[in-house]
A and B are shown apart, each in its own frame.
Chain A
Amino acid sequence: MLQFTLRRILQIIPTVFVVALLIFVIFSVVPGSFAASLFADGRTAADPELMARLNRELGLDKPLLERFVIYIVDLAHLDLGTSFRTRQPVIELINSRIWASLELAMAAMAFAILVGVPLGFLAALRPGSILDTVTMIGAVSGLSIPQFWLGLLMMYVFALQLNWLPSFGYGDGSWRNIILPAVTLGVTPLALLARTTRAGVLDVMSADFVRTAHSKGMSEGQVVRWHVARNALVLIVTTVGLQFGSLIGQAVVIEKLFSWPGIGSLLVDSVAIRDIPVVQGAILVIVLWFLVINTAVDLIYAAIDPRIKQG
């Protein structure tokens, strides 16, 4: 098990390396520059000398290959570089944002799990019932709604019309601020979870060993508790992991809309002003998060499912 764990963790490294390479290449050909973005709002006249000086100071005048080597060497020392804009280490910037993102992702995921899994379970236990139909229609609708449209609607209804919740921002970090963005963000994973849970439970319910369990004289409830739940969990854990892992990436839009100070809005803002080290750092961290979560899921998986450890 320890070997398995270590091996899965080691497997992350090449992926991260390729991702780093990929985003370096992409952002080395991106049009626009940090220096020019300083004057983009037209508030100050562009100063070509300043721009040239800035590019030199930021090392942007060096050849591409040299920059890449520096970047990779730094990366190997766990140094994500220095932000063009704030001239702070990127790692500090990310550290100041990642926790808000994690908070949001966890809240959204908690919402999705607490609502989605029970709904999917109940729907699967009574296929064809009204609850099932409504849940499944709701789920496919949840997957079809443009997220920021939903966010806007929620903002207007719950914040403006009903005045129940604050509409934006992190505030002082109270739970009231997180509700709207978390719910908006949680809709997609919720819908997916409800669907996979239902499908998973139905799948397990039609498995032969469930028939065996019935033939032993178990009641429906016992079958579900003793045999179905754990098997369905395997599927649910996968979906939860995939969703949780990619949630931070998906949160970009929601973070922007709700002015949530997470890594997603940092990323978008940094792309807009071409603060490339921050962009690269943020993407790497988001990817790393995805990989770590998925590795964790694999490990959980191995803990639940004895068949995994072998291979």
Chain B
Amino acid sequence: MRLRFNLALGAFLTTLVILAGLLAPWLAPFDPVLDADLMSSELPPDGTFWFGTDAQGRDVYSRILYGAQISLTVGIVSQVINSVIGVTLGMTAGYWGGWWDDLVSGLTNVMLAIPSLIFALAVMAVLGPGLPSLLIALGLTNWSWTCRIARSSTLSLKSQGYVQAAQTLGYSDLRIMFTQILPNMMGPILVMATLGMGSAVLSEAALSFLGLGIQPPFPSWGSMLTDAQRLLQLAPWVAVFPGLAIFLSVLGFNLLGDGLRDSLDPHMRTRKP
């Protein structure tokens, strides 16, 4: 019961973010960057500006809608990069073993030892602030967990009869990896990616706070929140709404990820009432 409720809530919140991002041009009453009238700055929420306006006089509601695009981009692209790196390394390491496995495992251990925020911080310092840098930085930081999962999944799948059968039937290694192993470990990878989307959005906010996130005028939630920090007393809505947006979307990704994991893992399902 609770499982389904969580999954539903997660799916609902995620859908909401996706819709907000996709439909932003139609839903947003104002342009997130150009409709900045300083005369109407820091207005509290009202009929025109549902979530109020920020220091530059921009509509917070519109910016949050457009911000969903950025959060989704950050979440999805960084996780795609993570998954591609993690799966490629993990799967080949698990499948081929040997020195390649030792190398990948060593690298994974190194990456795990460097706190991801600090690694992202370093990469951002090299690449400079901005969306592309952020995507790369976050894409390069969290693949180690995916890699570990891909590796261990591959190791256990490798000894499955159907993978060994594919070998005896003459399948090449690559064909086996793509047709036999990859489809069967997509579940946990997808779960990791979904959960990773949440942490990517959180990392974006944290990096923005440290001055290294996506920079304005892009309406990213993290940078909105960081900008709003100094307005907390004068115009709390400027901080509250982006904060809520981050919270709810990350909650959505997390619930969805948990839900997916539980529904993919029948062991968990029977255990949860």
Binding site for B on A (CB under 8 A): 14-15, 18-19, 22-23, 26-27, 29-32, 127-128, 133, 136, 140-141, 143-149, 152, 156, 202-203, 206, 246, 248-250, 252-253, 256-257, 267-268, 271-272, 279, 283, 286-287, 290-291, 294
Chain A residue numbers with a CB within 8 Å of B232 are 152, 156
Asked if A19 and B239 make an inter-chain contact with CB atoms under 8 angstroms apart, the answer reads no
Chain A residue numbers with a CB within 8 Å of B125 are 26-27, 30, 32, 271
> Total contacts A to B, CB within 8 angstroms?
125
- Among B22-30, B176-184, B250-258, the one that faces the other chain is B250-258
- Also in contact, A127 and B272, with CB within 8 A (given A147-B206, A152-B232, A152-B239): yes
Asked if B206 and A290 make an inter-chain contact with CB atoms under 8 angstroms apart, the answer reads no
Asked if B210 and A140 make an inter-chain contact with CB atoms under 8 angstroms apart, the answer reads no
Asked if A15 and B118 make an inter-chain contact with CB atoms under 8 angstroms apart, the answer reads no
Identify the 9 closest CB pairs spanning chains A and B, nearest first: A249-B115, A128-B273, A144-B250, A144-B251, A149-B243, A146-B205, A18-B110, A287-B113, A30-B126
Q: Mark B190-222, 1 if CB is under 8 A from A, else 0.
A: 000000001000100110011100000000001
Asked if B110 and A140 make an inter-chain contact with CB atoms under 8 angstroms apart, the answer reads no
In angstroms, Cα B108 to Cα A19, docked, is: 11
Chain A residue numbers with a CB within 8 Å of B114 are 19, 22, 249, 283, 286-287, 290
With CB as the reference atom, state the residue of chain B lying closest to A290: B113
Chain A residue numbers with a CB within 8 Å of B225 are 146, 149
Q: Which of the residues B210, B243, B248 comes within 8 Å of A268, measured between beta carbons? A: B210
In angstroms, Cα B113 to Cα A203, docked, is: 28
Shortest Cβ distance from residue A216 to the other chain B in the assembled complex, whole angstroms: 23
- Chain A binding surface, main DSSP class: helix
Shortest Cβ distance from residue A310 to the other chain B in the assembled complex, whole angstroms: 20
Asked if B273 and A127 make an inter-chain contact with CB atoms under 8 angstroms apart, the answer reads yes
Chain A residue numbers with a CB within 8 Å of B243 are 146, 149
Chain A residue numbers with a CB within 8 Å of B109 are 15
Q: Is B152 engaged at the interface, CB distance under 8 Å to the other chain?
A: no
With CB as the reference atom, state the residue of chain A lying closest to B128: A31
Q: Mark B119-146, 1 if CB is under 8 A from A, else 0.
A: 0011101101000000000000000000
Asked if A272 and B206 make an inter-chain contact with CB atoms under 8 angstroms apart, the answer reads no
Asked if B198 and A283 make an inter-chain contact with CB atoms under 8 angstroms apart, the answer reads no
- Between-chain CB contacts (< 8 Å), 10 pairs: A15-B113, A18-B110, A133-B2, A149-B243, A249-B117, A252-B121, A253-B206, A256-B210, A267-B121, A283-B118
Chain A residue numbers with a CB within 8 Å of B273 are 127-128
Shortest Cβ distance from residue B132 to the other chain A in the assembled complex, whole angstroms: 15
